[in-house]
Amino acid sequence: MTLTIPSGLQLVWSDEFDGDHVDDSKWSMHHGGGGFGNRELQYYRPQSAVVADGVLKITARCDDRHGFTSAKLQTKHKADWGPGHRVEVRARAPKGKGTWPAIWMLPTESSYGSWPRSGEIDIMEAVGCTAKKVFGTVHTDAYNHMKHTEKSNAARTEVDAWHTYTIDWTEKEIAWYLDGQLFHSFRPDSYEYQKWPYNRNFYLILNVAVGGSWGGICIHERPSCHRWDEFGQPQVMEVDYARVYKL
C-alpha cells in the first residue's frame, strides 16, 4: 500500500527547522541522565541539539565528564495530538554500534496508569547493533517488550540515508510508512485500554540514546569511544522537518 499525498490534508503543526536555534515555543529540551529504564548511558543536554541550514542535528558523543552526551526534544505541554492525525518526520539516523535513535510518542496524561498502560508509539527506532533496519512498534499493557508481546515490524533500509517516517493514526488503527510504503499496522481485536490506549493525546519526541539494553545489545551495552564504527566519531541524527496533518 502506498501513502496518499498530503496535498488534501490540513497541516496543523510543523517545524521546518529554518531558524538558527531550537524553537522553545515548540520543543522542550530534556536535561539529565539516569538510564531511562533501559540502562541507557547518555546524559541529555540542550547544547547537543543545534539547528543550522534548515536541519536539526542531534549529536551523541563520548564525553569526559558524563561518559556520553546527547539530546532529547519533546513537544509535551506545547503540542499533542490524538486519533485522526498523520505524523511525519523526514530524518536520517546514525548507524554506529551503540546508537539508538528514535522518533516516538508518549501520552500527555497517564490516563490508564504508568508505562506501558497508557501507551507508547514508536514511529521509528533504529539500533546500530541491528544493521539496515528501522522498526515501528506500539507498547501497551497487553502488548509490550517486558512481556515479549510488543506489536512491531521492521523495514530494511539504509538508516543513514534520508527517509520520511510516517504514521496514520485513526480511531481503530495505526499504520506505519517508510517513504510512503506501508510496512506495519496495528489494529487490535478489541479496544479496551489494555490493548488500545490510543484514544488520548500524545506528544512527539526526537532523541538519540546510547547503549543500554537494546541499543548496546551487541557490545555488552557500552560502546567504545575509540572504534570508528562505534563512538570513535560523533553519531548524528539529522531532521529536515516534523509535520502533523489532520486526516
Q: What is the pLDDT of residues 202-230, one digit of tens each?
A: 999 999 999 999 999 999 999 999 999 99
In a domain, 242, yes or no: yes
Q: Which domain holds residue 78?
A: 8-246
- Cell readout for 240 is 529536515
The CATH number of whichever domain residue 174 belongs to comes to: 2.60.120.200
Q: What is the pLDDT of residue 121?
A: 98
Q: In the predicted model, is pLDDT for residue 6 greater than 80?
A: no
Please count the structural domains in the chain.
1
Q: What is the pLDDT of residue 152?
A: 97
Pick the catalytic residue: 40, 88, 125, 221? Answer: 125
Residue indicated by cell numbers 534548515: 54
Q: Strand 174-178 vs strand 55-63: parallel, antiparallel, or unpaired?
A: unpaired
In a domain, 158, yes or no: yes
Q: What is the pLDDT of residue 8?
A: 81
16 flagged as catalytic: no
125 flagged as catalytic: yes
User: Is pTM, for the whole model, over 0.85?
Assistant: yes
54 phi, psi to nearest 5 deg: 80, 15
Q: What is the DSSP string of 117-169?
A: TT-EEEEEE--TTSTTEEEEEEE-SSS-TTTT--EEEEEE--TTS-EEEEEEE
Q: What is the pLDDT of residue 4?
A: 60
Distance CA 167, CA 177 (A): 6
Pick the catalytic residue: 120, 150, 221, 230? Answer: 120
- 83-138 pLDDT tens trace: 999 999 999 999 999 999 999 999 999 999 999 999 999 999 999 999 999 999 99
In a domain, 157, yes or no: yes
Residue 4 DSSP class: P
Residue 194 identity: Q
In a domain, 3, yes or no: no
Q: Are 205 and 218 in contact (CB under 8 A)?
A: no
